[in-house]
A = this chain, B = another copy of it.
Amino acid sequence: MEKKRILTGDRPTGRMHIGHLKGTLENRVKLQDEYDSFIEVANIQALADNFNNPSKVRESIYEVLCDYYAVGIDFDKSHVFIQSEVPEINEIFIYLANFATVQQIQHNPTIKTEMAQNKFEISTPLGFFLYPIHQVADILCVNADLVPVGKDQAPMVEDSRLIARKFNSTYGVKIFNEPEALYGVKVNVPGIDGNEKMGKSLNNGIYLADSEEELRTKVFKVYTDPNRIHATDPGKVEGNVAFAYLDLFANDSQKDEVEEMKKRYREGNIKDVEVKERLFEIMNAYLSPVRERRKEGESIKDELLKKALRGSREISEIAKETVKKMKKAMLIEFK
């Protein structure tokens, strides 16, 4: 039996952090054996937001490839590819756009949020506005069966299903699957400042590329319980980033120890510095191999790019078949 296809990806706009690691990257590594895995470096969509900063996007392609390598994505197993090297996606997008509406995009919650963040309400770049449907083209170009997403990305998968269905039914064909969302366990990785999101623009992230020293510095800055003045004050564990990270990075043999530390923290029986020291040890043990592998990745980054370009050619061939079928359905096949 053929493996099911999954599609994931990232916009290359910077290095990846532990939010990405826990939110999606580790999951992709787990899935790459069971599924036929397509991982897109979405540089066209990154340019849509950063068209006046192309070097950032260019450099970030390498960063993201090194991050993939660092976490254990196997470039000979997963099909890592560069979006702009699969021009068929744009062609597929144009034809799918007939089955999407402007209003559908306007009501997309992600677009609404990003419109506000970018102050795009008065002047909305078209490239940005159409990206939810361009993502649909990403998904449908390889006819993905499953799209691993967080709940906040559910509209993207819903759009894909709807557009696939409309295209198929309009032309009486079965070209597209209706892809399904693959919801993972929801993982919250707060920023070191206690913000519920971690992000480059918030300057609150711990990056896979961070050195041991950088990790230590950041860990010792994590937001804990601001109302706790003395080590003997009872402290709060909820909303405490140190404990959030301990829950995320402690291995099974360390779980009991973490629970014990929480208990002592609540009782006012442990210093913040002691918690942080242990957090650093645990995180560093977890992230050291990733960091080492990332260094290795950096030394072979041209090779990684080459593999991504090879992947792009593979996806391009698949997408060409999709275009061919679509054109036949729309009666615009010429011989």
Contact = CB atoms under 8 A, between A and B. Distances in A.
A10 to B, nearest CB: 16
A137 to B, nearest CB: 10
Interface in A287-335: 305, 309, 323, 327, 329-332, 334
Contacts of A52: 170
Contacts of A215: none
Interface stretch (A63-71, A91-99, A179-187, A198-206): A91-99
B91 A87 contact: yes
Interface residues of A, dominant DSSP: helix
Contacts of A133: 126
A31 interface: no
B332 A127 contact: no
Contacts of A128: 98
Contacts of A99: 51, 125, 127
Contact of A101 (B125, B171, B329): B125
A132 to B, nearest CB: 10
A98 B125 contact: yes
A229 interface: no
A272 B88 CA distance: 59
Interface stretch (A40-48, A140-148, A235-243): A40-48
A254 interface: no
16 contacts: A43-B332, A44-B94, A47-B332, A48-B98, A54-B331, A82-B334, A84-B327, A87-B323, A91-B91, A94-B134, A97-B127, A98-B125, A101-B125, A101-B126, A104-B126, A105-B126
Contacts of A123: 101, 103
Contact of A51 (B84, B93, B98, B127): B98
Given A54-B330, A84-B332, A334-B305, A102 B90 contact: no
A34 to B, nearest CB: 30
A223 interface: no
Interface in A105-137: 105, 122-130, 133-134
Interface string A48-59: 100110110110
B125 A58 contact: no
Nearest 4 CB-CB pairs, A to B?
Answer: A98-B127, A97-B127, A51-B98, A97-B126
